[in-house]
């Protein structure tokens, strides 16, 4: 039976309108797409690739929140 793993995904939208996703627990794990539907498909694929590539595994973390600071 396959073990289910959960990952935090940070999603931002860049100046060109692309959605960019990164997975903090997996070094170098990020992707982009023009739509959120396409992004979510791609982020699942890139997580699987990163898990296959990482020899050390990953360091699980707990999402705490996001702070926006104006300076």
Domain ranges for the chain, please list them: 10-50
Task: Say if residue 57's pLDDT is above 80.
Answer: no
Q: What is the pTM of this model?
A: 0.80
Across the range 19-44, mean pLDDT stands at: 95
pLDDT given at position 4: 83
Assigned CATH for 10-50: 3.30.160.250
Q: Show the 3-state SS of the chain.
A: CCCCCCCCCEEEECCCCCEEEECCCCCCCEEEECCHHHHHHHHHHHHHHHHHHCCCCCCCCCCCCCCCCCC
């Amino acid at each position: 039976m396959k073990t289910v793993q959960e990952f935090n995904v940070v999603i931002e939208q860049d100046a060109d309108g692309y959605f960019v996703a990164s997975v903090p627990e997996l070094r170098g794990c990020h992707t982009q797409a023009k739509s959120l539907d396409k992004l979510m498909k791609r982020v699942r694929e890139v997580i699987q690739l990163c898990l296959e590539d990482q020899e050390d595994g990953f360091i699980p973390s707990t999402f705490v929140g996001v702070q926006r600071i104006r300076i």
